[in-house]
Amino acid sequence: MAVAMNPNEAHSGGDAALEAAARLFHLPRDFAEAVVAARGATKPEPGFTPAHWDTFGEDQAQFMSDVQRHAETLGENIQAGAVEGARTDTEAGEDFNNSRVSPVSREVNLF
C-alpha cells in the first residue's frame, strides 16, 4: 500500500480557503447594512422593537465573523500540512538515497 500527497495541490487548497476567508471579510458589515435597510423598509411589528433588529443583526454578524476566522484558520492549517508533507517526503527521499540498497527501477513520488 502506498500513501502519498501532492504538496502543491494541498497548498492550493489552502489558498482556496484563504480566498474564501478574504471574500467573507466584509460580509458582517454588509449584512448589518442590509438589516438596517430592511428595518427601514418594513412596518413596525407589535412587540418587535428596533432593539430586536439590532440584536438579530449583531448575532448574525458575529456568526459570520466566526465563519470567516474558521476559513482563515483552515487555509493556514492546510498550507502548514502541505509544508510538513513536503518536508517529510524530502527527508524520506534523502534517507532512501543514502541507503546501501541499489536504486529502484522506477521514479518515486513524482506528481
pLDDT over 80 at 98, yes or no: no
Residues 15/74, Cβ–Cβ less than 8 Å: no
* Interaxial angle between packed helices 7-24 and 50-97, expressed in degrees from 0 to 180 and rounded to the nearest 10: 170
pLDDT over 70 at 95, yes or no: no
The pTM assigned to this predicted structure is: 0.67
pLDDT category at 5 given cuts 50, 70, 90 is confident
Nearest alpha-carbon partner for 111 in 3, 14, 16, 4: 4
Q: What is the mean pLDDT of the chain?
A: 82
Residues 85/11, Cβ–Cβ less than 8 Å: no
pLDDT over 90 at 6, yes or no: no
pLDDT category at 109 given cuts 50, 70, 90 is low
C-alpha cell recorded at residue 26: 466584509
Could you say which DSSP state residue 42 is in?
S
Separation of alpha carbons 15 and 79, rounded Å: 8
- Over residues 33-64, the pLDDT tens digits come to 888 888 888 887 777 787 888 888 888 989 99
Coil/strand/helix, residue 3: coil
